[in-house]
Amino acid sequence: MSFILIKGTFHVVGYSPDGDSIRFKANNPEHWSKIKGSPPQLNEDNHVQIRLIGIDSLETHFHDCQQSMKWAISAANFLLDSLEISGVQWNEQTNVILKAEDNIEGFILVKKTDQHGRPLGFIFKGKIDELDGSDLFLPLDLFFNSVNYKSLFYGESYPTYYRGIAPTLRSKMTQAVNHARRNNRGLWQFDLTNQGFNVWDLFAEDKTVVILPKLFRRLVSHLRTNQTVDNFKNSVVKSEKVLILPHKKKLLFRDIIIQQDHVFKLSKLPEDLVYL
């Protein structure tokens, strides 16, 4: 699977990095024109938010709602440590980095941006011999060194696959997820996505319920405008479809949500879903 190689530096001071996104400055901004989708949203420092492909870490500020901060911050710290960004000091709310030894050299492999203008890619620390801005096939040995893969391997993030990830890479990511789950690593110690959870426990002060962030976001969005979850499944848009692996059966996302009063769960494992 080929990508555009873009070299540059990673930045976190003054930002709110989480386990699946980080700011990046390209050495040559002209290379952004080589990727598909809407133009990347660069700020005044030429920094752009990179969204890591294939993973989804717990939410820290979705519509002012949080998931387990323990595992959300764990995923963020894992990303920072993987890039060797040291001396990190968060603000009191742990949502903005005040100080850090950032400006770390690295590179990303990207193909396109998402609807928010964020390049979607695999991220890496260090150098690579290939030419900046070149079209690069992603070999497995390099793929295994991506922060994306490592985050799944150590159970710091959930798998969240969209169209565009090559089946070979996706299967390797799923193997990493299976390894993390079997060994009870990271968030898999507490995951209730397929076991079931009471929706109101998501908003308890201790926030011990850990579930797939996509399902969390759908529930929070519904409850912003509704006092109950009685009509929740009908509120999940019909256009949100998933491909169920390995048989590649197409369903609506809401069709795999099982609801009994206030208790919810997914009928399929997160790694068996490809969002269309």
Whole-number Å distance between alpha carbons of 109 and 106: 11
- Dump the DSSP string for 167-222: HHHHHHHHHHHHHHHHTT-GGGGTB-TTT-EEGGGGGSTT---B--HHHHHHHHHH
For residue 14, the tally of other CB atoms under 10 A from its CB is: 14
- Average the pLDDT over 163-187 and give the result: 96
Q: Note whether 16 and 117 are same-domain residues.
A: yes
- Residue 189: partners with Cβ closer than 8 Å, 6 or more residues away: 155
Domain interval for residue 255: 191-275
Number of domains in the chain: 2
pLDDT at 227 over 90: no
Whether 168 maps to a domain, the answer reads no
Single pTM value for the model: 0.95
The whole-chain average pLDDT of the chain stands at: 94
Q: Note whether 92 and 206 are same-domain residues.
A: no
Q: Note whether 26 and 100 are same-domain residues.
A: yes
Q: pLDDT higher for 197 or 41?
A: 197
At which residue do the structure tokens 């100080």 appear? 99
Q: Note whether 139 and 215 are same-domain residues.
A: no
At which residue do the structure tokens 């440590």 appear? 81
At which residue do the structure tokens 């150590």 appear? 154
Whether 173 maps to a domain, the answer reads no
Each residue's pLDDT tens digit, 139-173: 999 999 999 999 999 999 999 999 889 999 999 99
